[in-house]
Every structure is written in C-alpha cells, then in structure tokens.
Amino acid sequence: MNTNQLILAIKNKLGLQCRFNKKTNELGISIQKNNEIIFKPELIANIDKSNIAAVINHMKHLGKNSLLMTQHANKTLAEQLQQANIQFIDYSGNAYINEPPIFIFVKGESSQKLSSYDELAFDLNSANIKIIFALLAIKSAINLTYREIAKMSDVALGSINKTFLMLQKYNYLIIKQNGARILTNKEELLNKWCIAYAEKLRPKLILGKFSTDLINELKEVKPSEFNFLWGSEIAASHLTRYLKPELITLYADNDLPQLQLKFRLKKNTHGNIELLKKFWVFDTEDSTVVPHILVYADLLNSLDERNRETASLIYEQYIKKEME
C-alpha cells in the first residue's frame, strides 16, 4: 500500500503515531510509546453506496483487530461504518477507531487524490469478477481447461491466467505439483467478490428498469417460456419462502421483447422490475433462478434489512457447504 501517504494522513490529520510492517501486514497505532495497538489492515480500494453492505458483511467475518482501509469514505459511509462498529481509516483522514484508550471518529474530510495506489489491494476487474463467479458457482470448474473456463465465464482466454496469478498471490489458489488446482479461503473470496460485483460489474449489466400493471401475472410466469432466470428478491422467495418480493429481477441474454410485449412492460427508471444481462455460460441444478451466490450477492448489497436476513438464510441453506 502507499504507506507513506497513509502514515502522513494518520499523523497529520489524526495526531497519532503509527508504523506499518509489510511482511506481517500489521499496522501499529499509538498515542504513547508503550501503548501501541496492532491492527490487521484490510484494503478495499473503493467503497460506495452500491457495495457498503457487502463491505460491512466482509469486515464482520474478519478478526476483531481488522481495520478497513479505503481511498475515501464520505460522511454517509463513515456513519454507516461507525454504526456497524467497523473500524476504518481512509487516505483523506476520515477514521473510526474504538480501541481504548484510543477513540477517534472523524468524518466529512474531502477526498484526496493519491499519487499511487495499493499493491496489496485485491482489485478485481470485470473479467476477474466473471471468472471467480464461475469458479465459486461450479465446484468442478477450477480444474477445467483454461479454454473451458473462459467459455463458461464469457471472457477472453488470456484473462484466465491473469486471474489465476492474482488468486495465487492473495492465497485463494493452490496449484499442486501434479497440476491440480485447489480454491482456498472461499468464504473470504466470496465476500470480496460480492463487493467487487456490486461496484464494478452489476451497473454495466442493467438493460433497463420497467413497471407494469400486470406485476402479479409476471411473478407467475415460467422463466423457461421466455429464456430468463429469476434473480435477487424473487429468486430468494422461490428458494426460502421467507421473502415477499417487491423488486422483480430478471437475468437474460437479451432485453426479452416478447415478454415486454406480453406483460406490458413500460420503461421507468424508478420501476420495480429490472432486467440484467446474463454474464455466464453454464447451467446449474435449478433452471429457474440464477446461481445461488448471485442471489446472495444481490440481497446482501440491498439496503433492506429483511433482504440481508434472507441473504444469511440462503448462505446457510445453499452456499455454506460449498465454501468448505
């Protein structure tokens, strides 16, 4: 990470002494010489309203001494992190640290432009996100050929090796002497994937938002009739029967003109029907809903508390065993 710039922000804006040990990934912060508190920095390059819920979920799964480091947390995000008791520091000098005798809560500092950014950041691009999705959704995918993984992820062949090198670097992939690949730390990888998906890939997938006076009829349609899959809330309602969907999410290869016509869908930026581009090329056991980790991610990134509760149910019922 850009340790010099970070240390300057901590010293100059927060009035604390600190040291960073790159080998052990430990950040020591103190107000007196013999009163140092050791943190394990967790770097997430960018946080915003699209991924803050997933960021909080990820941080809660880490150790008690974890400290979120990010480029900038605006006032609203800082308050959300503080309310969730997630300790953080950004490069602008905003911070929340609650480790007696240190208590700091600074918010509202303006964003600072970085001269360089973090070499330790697990910073995923769209191709990485698609590939990791396939590897997490299909357990056997990790040992397929590069060409097969590229096809099921809908990415260029060259992206596979780059992604595998990144996964190895951050201890999410082990390659044995016989060439067999093992995906490791899968729960943590899933949490980081959820953050990146919400920020970087999902916004690019939205084909349109709609409304209709035939919403109840739409909820009852069979996805196979129009070649789409349910996602998010309506997928969760099928999987758990715990949630009554208010948002209707469909993932498809195109904008479903026949479905739009039959159910009188009208474009509406505030509509409760959203159509997203399907970004994978493989089937799962359930032919009506998207892969479970995608249902989980969409719910987790919702601001609705019941959606997040349902995400936890889906994780326990459908995902947890696959992460072991």
Around Cβ 207, how many Cβ atoms within 10 Å?
A: 16
Asked whether the predicted pLDDT for residue 219 surpasses 70, the reply is yes
Calpha distance 185→173 (Å, rounded): 8
Q: What six digits make up the tokens of 6?
A: 């970070």
Give the pLDDT score at 239: 95
Say yes or no to pLDDT of 101 above 90. Answer: no
Mean pLDDT, rounded, for 18-27: 80
pLDDT tens string 153-173: 999 999 999 999 999 999 999
Residue 4's pLDDT is 65
Q: How far apart are CA 167 and CA 192, in angstroms?
A: 12
CB distance 255 to 277 below 8 Å = no
Topology of the domain comprising 126-187 = Arc Repressor Mutant, subunit A (1.10.10)
Q: Is 245 helix (H, G, I), strand (E, B) or coil?
A: coil
Q: What is the pLDDT of residue 213?
A: 96
CB count within 10 Å of CB 31 equals: 14
Domain extent listing, the chain: 3-106, 126-187, 201-323
User: Comparing 29-38, 90-99, 256-265, which segment has the lowest mean pLDDT?
Assistant: 29-38
- State the pLDDT at residue 3: 60
pLDDT of residue 113: 63
Q: Dihedral sign for Cα 37, 188, 55, 62, please.
A: negative
Give the pLDDT of residue 54.
92
Residue 226 banded pLDDT, cuts 50, 70, 90? very high
Q: Are 289 and 229 in contact (CB under 8 A)?
A: yes
| Average pLDDT score over the chain | 90
Statement: residue 32 has pLDDT above 70: no
Tell me: pLDDT of 263 over 70: yes
Residue type, 295: V
Work out the number of other CB atoms within 10 angstroms of the CB of residue 42.
23
